[in-house]
Amino acid sequence: MKAMQLKGYGAADNYELVDIPVPEPADDEVLIKVALASAVYADVVMRTGGYPFKPPFPYVGGREVAGTIEKVGAKVEGLRPGMRVTADMQTGAYAEYAVAKHGKIMIVPNRASFDQAIVYHSNMLVAYLAYYTFGNLQPGESILVHAAAGGIGSVFTQIAKQRGTNMVIALASNDEKLDFCRKIGADYVVNVSTSNYADEVLRITNGKGVDVSFNSVTGPTLRTDLHAIRQRGKWLLNGFAAGIGTLEISAELMLKSFTIIPFSIYSVVDRPEFKQAYDFRNNWLATKELLSVTRTFRLEDVAEAHRWIESRRSFGKVVLIP
């Protein structure tokens, strides 16, 4: 099978098209014929050596697929060849076939296409955990969403708006992204490339600040968020798209008295909250309005896809087609 293999950290061009054997699923694994493979910012971070998980070289990149089950391991129950599924894995998605653990599989409902299902496979889990589990957000709260046009930010915005009375201020970096945020329900949009978003937030909230900031960008935005969140508000931190940020323990921070909530999906994978997130995602796919993939690349053009993501022009879900 053809696959995109990485042999060392560095630029996007380090990916190489190779011909390797189709993997054989272990007893608790499923072999999937890949229809779509996600290209996400975490893949970029892993490629450059900044991700906590560091697989040995060479390895096939990519962490998420949509496709059809080709073969199941001896101990796998409830799944069979021919089923349409999405799945996540540590590596191996950038290929014509991929293997995934049984517990990482989601069956795609009949009403959903692969283009739609892959948008929600991992993104919905993070967004649900941010909104319900870690944030315990409530109807009526005002929410600032960083990178609102991104994969997680867009799904988080959908969740917030389906509660009906949340007011969402979406941050994005260009007009195309802002239009996308409006389409998915954001009440206000702010272009972070042309304005100080804290000033805009204070204007929108009549000087009060938002109840909650969901920040997956961090980096220098940590300082700006100090001025955008109300006193005793909530600060949800997940991700570092703008780099690892630092924040001094200052009198200003103490006066704000935020509830600061850094979180990772990996902290709940063995807890009931993770099953709740799975069930919420599956119900959403079966009953709610669905977003679709926004940009596609050929598998062998993975370097171009990574450069597109790194350019900050990408929004929604970017995928590769084998």
Q: What's the pLDDT tens digit per position in 69-89? A: 999 999 999 999 999 999 999
Q: What is the 3-state secondary structure (H, E, C) of the chain?
A: CEEEEECCCCCHHHEEEEECCCCCCCCCEEEEEEEEEECCHHHHHHHCCCCCCCCCCCEECCCEEEEEEEEECCCCCCCCCCCEEEEECCCCCCECEEEEEHHHEEECCCCCCHHHHHHHCCHHHHHHHHHHHHCCCCCCCEEEECCCCCHHHHHHHHHHHHCCCCEEEEEECCHHHHHHHHHCCCCEEEECCCCCHHHHHHHHCCCCCEEEEEECCCCCHHHHHHHHEEEEEEEEECCCCCCCCCCCCCHHHHHHCCEEEECCHHHCCCCHHHHHHHHHHHHHHHHCCCCCCCEEEEHHHHHHHHHHHHCCCCCCCEEEEC
**pLDDT for the residue 251:** 82
What is the gyration radius of the CA atoms in the chain, in angstroms?
20
Residue 60 burial by Cβ neighbours in a 10 Å radius (0-12, 13-18, 19+): buried
User: Where does residue 92 fall: left (phi above 0), alpha (psi -120 to 50 degrees), or beta otherwise?
Assistant: left
Comparing 2-113+292-321 with 123-267, is the CATH topology the same? no
**pLDDT for the residue 164:** 75
Which token pair is 201? 């937030």
Class of domain 123-267: alpha beta
**pLDDT for the residue 243:** 57
Residues of the chain with pLDDT under 50: none
Kindly list the distances between the CA atom of residue 295 and the CA atoms of 53, 93, 243, 321, in Å, as whole numbers in the listed order. Answer: 27, 17, 25, 11
Task: Determine the Cα–Cα distance for residues 84 and 67; give it in Å rounded to an integer.
Answer: 6
This prediction's pTM = 0.91
What are the residue boundaries of the structural domains of the chain, listed by start?
Answer: 2-113+292-321, 123-267
CATH code at 2-113+292-321: 3.90.180.10
Q: Reading across the β-sheet that carries 15-19, which strands appear in turn?
A: 15-19, 2-6, 59-60
Residue 161's closest CA among 135, 179, 143? 143
**pLDDT for the residue 297:** 98
